């Protein structure tokens, strides 16, 4: 490769690198409190600093704001018509080393403030008034500034929010394995309570029938219907015994299922020829 060709190649690479750096250049914005009415300097600078922080948080820009910006202003302050003077804007851009400016007029009213911003392109000496920002008493200025940042600098690139990766299935939190009322516990407990109520009803009915037989003297004399009444009493007593047995068994099952609930013993209901069948699974 000749010297001339190598020189042209190097020049082309340098030109491409310079172009890439120019495209990647982040705009620098100076946030300046041009005028503050019914707001002291400390609060005005604090609001300016909060606005600068919000701009860098939401947009791909650099800012100089707050006391840093105030310290770079002329000692005599800004002229009232600075925004209309090309020389004043150029001087302000040089002082802040800024490509763009946001000139703020802050007016206090009660506990709140009204901020009237004017955007300025330093190189083009072009100014555009932006919509006023109203901050009520007690409102967080930072949150308000972040919400309006894109419309203050509409040409600026919005920062892409960090994407929070969703947790993988293996990292998903596991359900606690302590004892708890499972479906099986509720079913077994419900059966136990229902059987206990039925057993009590049959038992009381049997006792009532026994008392009726004694009241009629059938225990000492012969009654014509004593056999049928005794059979009815015995049947009710038998049903009471069966119900109490079911209640005890279901209650014990509910207790066991609760004690084993940490093992997540499954419960399912399967159809049977004469109804349904409850199946309890688990390791004991």
What is the average pLDDT score of the chain? 81
DSSP state of 39: S
Provide the residue range defining the domain that includes 240: 183-280
- In this prediction, residue 271 carries a pLDDT of 52
Half-sphere exposure of 197 (CA within 13 A, CB side): 5
- In this prediction, residue 32 carries a pLDDT of 95
Q: Quick check: is 101 in a domain?
A: yes
Q: Quick check: is 129 in a domain?
A: yes
Shared domain for 144 and 230, answered yes or no, is no
Shared domain for 191 and 232, answered yes or no, is yes
Shared domain for 43 and 116, answered yes or no, is yes
Shared domain for 144 and 201, answered yes or no, is no
Q: Quick check: is 276 in a domain?
A: yes
DSSP state of 172: S
- In this prediction, residue 107 carries a pLDDT of 95
Shared domain for 148 and 192, answered yes or no, is no
Shared domain for 36 and 146, answered yes or no, is yes
- In this prediction, residue 3 carries a pLDDT of 44
Q: Quick check: is 81 in a domain?
A: yes
- In this prediction, residue 226 carries a pLDDT of 74
What CATH code is carried by the domain that includes residue 105?
3.40.50.10610
Shared domain for 144 and 197, answered yes or no, is no
Q: Report the distance separating Cα 240 and Cα 248, nearest Å.
A: 12
Is residue 16 pLDDT above 70, yes or no?
no
- In this prediction, residue 12 carries a pLDDT of 47
How many C-beta atoms lie closer than 10 Å to residue 47's C-beta?
Answer: 25
Exposed / middle / buried, residue 28 (Cβ in 10 Å: 0-12, 13-18, 19+): middle
Q: Report the distance separating Cα 5 and Cα 13, nearest Å.
A: 12
Q: Quick check: is 47 in a domain?
A: yes
The region of weakest confidence among 9-13, 122-126, 195-199, 260-264 is: 9-13
Is residue 230 pLDDT above 70, yes or no?
yes
Q: Quick check: is 63 in a domain?
A: yes
**Which residue has better confidence, 264 or 114?**
114
- In this prediction, residue 167 carries a pLDDT of 54
Q: Quick check: is 144 in a domain?
A: yes
Tokens encoding 170: 């293996």
Q: Quick check: is 37 in a domain?
A: yes
Shared domain for 38 and 131, answered yes or no, is yes
pTM summary value: 0.51
Of 152, 173, 191, which residue sits at a domain end? Answer: 152
- In this prediction, residue 229 carries a pLDDT of 81
Of 129, 152, 175, which residue sits at a domain end? Answer: 152
Provide the domain count of the chain.
2
Is residue 258 pLDDT above 60, yes or no?
yes
Shared domain for 43 and 125, answered yes or no, is yes
- In this prediction, residue 148 carries a pLDDT of 94
């Amino acid at each position: 490769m000749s010297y001339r060709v190598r020189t042209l190649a190097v020049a082309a690479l340098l030109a491409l690198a310079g172009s890439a750096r120019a495209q990647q250049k982040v705009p620098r914005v100076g946030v300046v409190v041009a005028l503050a009415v019914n707001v002291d300097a400390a609060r005005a600078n604090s609001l300016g600093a909060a606005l600068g922080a919000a701009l860098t948080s939401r947009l791909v820009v650099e800012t100089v704001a707050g006391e840093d910006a105030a310290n770079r202003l002329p000692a005599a302050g800004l002229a009232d018509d600075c925004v209309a003077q090309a020389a004043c804007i150029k001087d302000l851009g040089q002082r802040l080393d800024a490509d763009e400016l946001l000139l703020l007029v802050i007016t206090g009213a009660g506990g709140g403030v009204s901020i009237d911003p004017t955007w300025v392109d330093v190189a083009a000496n072009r100014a555009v008034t932006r919509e006023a920002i109203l901050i009520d008493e007690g409102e967080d200025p930072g949150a308000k500034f972040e919400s309006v940042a894109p419309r203050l600098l509409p040409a600026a690139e919005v920062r892409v929010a960090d994407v929070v990766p969703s947790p993988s299935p293996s990292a998903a939190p596991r359900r606690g394995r302590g004892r708890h009322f499972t479906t099986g516990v509720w079913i077994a407990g419900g059966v136990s309570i229902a059987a206990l109520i039925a057993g009590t009803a049959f038992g009381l009915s049997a006792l009532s029938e026994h008392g009726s037989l004694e009241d009629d003297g059938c225990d000492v004399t012969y009654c014509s219907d004593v056999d049928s009444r005794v059979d009815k009493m015995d049947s009710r007593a038998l049903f009471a015994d069966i119900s109490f047995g079911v209640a005890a068994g279901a209650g014990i099952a509910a207790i066991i299922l609760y004690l084993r609930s940490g093992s997540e013993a499954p419960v399912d209901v399967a159809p049977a020829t004469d109804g349904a069948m409850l199946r309890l699974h688990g390791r004991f």
